[in-house]
Structure 1
């Protein structure tokens, strides 16, 4: 049984159409139908029910697709591992990262890594944590830098660093700002500025507020921590930021208050069943041995 037949069945199952699957696979639809029929004859089972209105995978077809996916993954992992063993110098890695972290963590790490492994090509993709997770499970990135918690059981992660969280408030003390303290509960009536849905840091902030028994009144949402701080600077609300951000973006008209018992942990995450190249492992190990002060 050829590997391509596994790919054909999975694509048909995913697209729920022979025509769409054939287009994605760049083969003629009659040829695809013929090869699947031949496979069904060989197996002695029906993989797909054909109707005038479309197709539907059978229970045995689902079982075949699940096993086929596992076989394809092992085949892909084997190919990558064999290629990896030839010469690490020919490797490339792609890292997934969120904007709030990427701009502060990646540059010093990339500089250090490229100094040690000058011939390894490194690319990175910046997006929301929600989209980075999709890129991970679809093998579009080798690993990602995310923050805990990670709930997807398909992923494995290694802790990288833990940092304090700060509340950013306007220095001009608008009338809605209470007396300053490091207790988050004291700010529950303030207008909050949050990152948009899909960013793990937004989830972290909402979880932190929930732990203090309140839901923040969201005044503005943004996809940029810099924009959030600019809104604070103009007395339009308060926002929570990680320590590494205040070290780099510290406007003189913003006051930063270290919150009590508030931290975030960054991790390197990758899919358990996917082969992680030696170049990727080298990057992660190098990053974990880097002094935290490098990012401050």
Structure 2
């Protein structure tokens, strides 16, 4: 038995389903099921009754839930207590981000903070840049303390503090020679004849774009998926494919063979700096958070 298994168990109790609990904990449903099965096997009891898509606690499972809640709470209380001592010595900002720091000009903001902070303190930025699912996992497991993410479709918003940073508007991105460049703006129906490239399925951008098509009753399947928007734009330079991206991610100076076309119906994505409300921050990370609140208003 380990602490993560207890957390997964409690997430299922809270949400009433394995799939919703897996979404909340940012793991796959199959991984969640394996962990719970391993826990039940170790304990030698059935914790849940499974009926169709719903799960219910068994009588012994309900009793076990009381101990699981107590154990997880005691663990969190212990970490908070020990953190009082550890954070006083730490000058590290553990910062996770989706791959947008350079595109949004945030490197300069981070440099400005470090350059103007107490000259007697050596500021360490421990930056983790990854897809949103991995960033959220790191935030929950304590590998990072703050994260820059897209907040569209974010679950359990009441668990977080937010500093809104940017409302980003999507545009069509394609080769300058593409037929769609003749239009002043494009609709989802205009895009139907052309192969679509997108960021991979773990990205919020993928979800935003595919749901936009679905809202028009269009089943538009991507022909190409990639993990980085810069790779995507490199592909489009010599391809008949098209994509939809937040305008701030499109660097036409770096990719001179590309152009953008506005969308007839506005499609947006919201980016924010977040932290868990229950997460205790060291002083330098608190100062960094305050700096963002003062200097980076919503764009």
TM-score by length of 2: 0.71
C-alpha distance in 2, partners of 1:232/1:12? 44
3-state SS of the aligned residue for 1:236?
A: coil
Whether 1:93 and 2:98 are equivalent positions in the alignment is: no
Q: In 2 relative to 1, CA 178–116 (structure 1 residues): closer, same or farther, beyond 3 Å?
A: closer
Equivalent residue pairs, number: 247
Q: Which has the larger radius of gyration?
A: 1
Deviation at 1:14, TM superposition (A): 8.0
C-alpha distance in 2, partners of 1:221/1:140? 28
Asked if the contact 1:73/1:274 (under 8 Å) is kept, the reply is: no
C-alpha distance in 2, partners of 1:279/1:188? 50
Q: In 2 relative to 1, CA 237–80 (structure 1 residues): closer, same or farther, beyond 3 Å?
A: same
Q: Which of the numbers 14, 32, 43 marks the counterpart of 1:55?
A: 43
Q: Which of the numbers 279, 282, 288 marks the counterpart of 2:284?
A: 279
TM-score by length of 1: 0.71
Deviation at 1:179, TM superposition (A): 4.4
Q: In 2 relative to 1, CA 102–56 (structure 1 residues): closer, same or farther, beyond 3 Å?
A: farther
Asked if the contact 1:191/1:218 (under 8 Å) is kept, the reply is: yes
Deviation at 1:290, TM superposition (A): 3.6
Matching of residues 44-193 of structure 1 within 5 Å:
54-56=42-44, 59=61, 60-84=63-87, 86=88, 90-99=90-99, 101-105=100-104, 106-117=106-117, 119-153=122-156, 155-158=159-162, 159-173=164-178, 177=180, 179-185=182-188, 186-193=190-197
3-state SS of the aligned residue for 2:201?
A: coil
Whether 1:261 and 2:266 are equivalent positions in the alignment is: yes
Q: Which of the numbers 202, 222, 236 marks the counterpart of 1:198?
A: 202
Q: In 2 relative to 1, CA 213–280 (structure 1 residues): closer, same or farther, beyond 3 Å?
A: farther
C-alpha distance in 2, partners of 1:141/1:198? 20
Deviation at 1:225, TM superposition (A): 0.7
Structure 1: stretches of 5+ with no match in the other structure:
1-7, 17-49
Q: CA RMSD in A?
A: 3.2
Asked if the contact 2:7/2:72 (under 8 Å) is kept, the reply is: no
